[in-house]
Amino acid sequence: MAGRKLEGELMDKIEKLGAEEYVQDYIGDGNTVASLAKELGCSRSFLSRILNKRPPYRAALEEGRRMQAETFAEQSMEIVDKMAEQGEYKSEDVALARERINIRKWTAALNNPDRFAPKDKGITINVANLHLDALKKVTQELRDVTPTAKEISYDSGEE
C-alpha cells in the first residue's frame, strides 16, 4: 500500500536524522510536530500518528514536550528582558508581549503540569462546624414551631 511505503520512507528519514533523540530534541527546542512534518514533507496528522504508534517515539515526544515547557519558560523571560532593554515601546507592544508570554505559559502548563501548572488551592471542609451548624438549624426550627401563649386557647365549655 502507498501509505505503508510513505511511512517507511518517512521513518527512514527520521532514523537518518537521529531517530528518537532527534524528535525529542526537535520538540524540546520549542518546535512543533507540525513544523517537523513540514520539514519532512508530510502532514502533521500523519507524522503524529506514526510517531505515537511506536512506543520509543511516543516517549521521545512526551519527554520533548516536558523539555519544551522549560524552553517556553526561558523564552518568556527573554521576551520580557528584551522589552526592558528596548526601553521605548507602545501599548500594542506590551499587549503582544503579554499574549506571547501567556501562550507559552499555557503550553508549558500543558506539557509539564507538575512544574508549570497553577497549583490547586483545594477546599477545606470542617465536618465539626457543618455538624454544629446543622444542630443549630434544627434547634432553631424546633423553637419556631413552639406555640406562643396567644396561640393557645383554652376551651372552657362556656359561651
What's the mean pLDDT in 4-33? 88
The answer as to whether 36 is a domain residue is: yes
Does the residue 131 lie in any domain? no
Query: What pLDDT does 24 receive?
Result: 92
Query: How much of the chain, in percent, has pLDDT values that exceed 90?
Result: 14
| Mean pLDDT (the chain, rounded) | 82
Task: Over range 144-153, report the average pLDDT.
Answer: 62
Is 125 or 11 the better-scoring residue by pLDDT? Answer: 11
What is residue 143's predicted lDDT score, i.e. its pLDDT? 66
pLDDT given for residue 157 in this prediction: 52
Q: Confirm whether 142 is domain-assigned.
A: no
pLDDT value at residue 87: 76
Is position 157 within any domain?
no
User: With bands split at pLDDT 50, 70 and 90, how would you rate the model's confidence at 59?
Assistant: very high
CATH number of residue 92's parent domain = 1.10.10.60
Instruction: Render pLDDT for 29-39 as a digit per residue (tens, 0 to 9).
Output: 989 889 999 99
Is the residue at 22 inside a domain?
yes
Residue 138 belongs to some domain of the structure: no
Query: How many domains is the chain built from?
Result: 1
For residue 96 the three cell numbers come to 503582544
Q: Treating both helix axes as pointing N-terminal to C-terminal, what angle do 19-28 and 2-17 enclose, rounded to 10 degrees?
A: 80
Does 105 map to a domain?
Answer: yes
**Would you say 30 and 69 are in contact if contact means Cβ atoms under 8 Å apart?**
no
The residue assigned the cell 513540514 is 38
Place of cell 424546633: 142
| Domain that includes residue 67, residue range | 7-116
Task: Choose among 65, 71, 73, 64: nearest CA to 22.
Answer: 64
Residue 126 included in any domain? no
| Structure confidence at residue 34 (pLDDT) | 92
**Residue 118: band (very low, low, confident or very high) from pLDDT cuts 50, 70, 90:** confident
Which of 30-34, 41-45, 151-155 is predicted least confidently? 151-155
**CA-closest candidate to residue 68, choices 36, 110, 98, 114:** 110
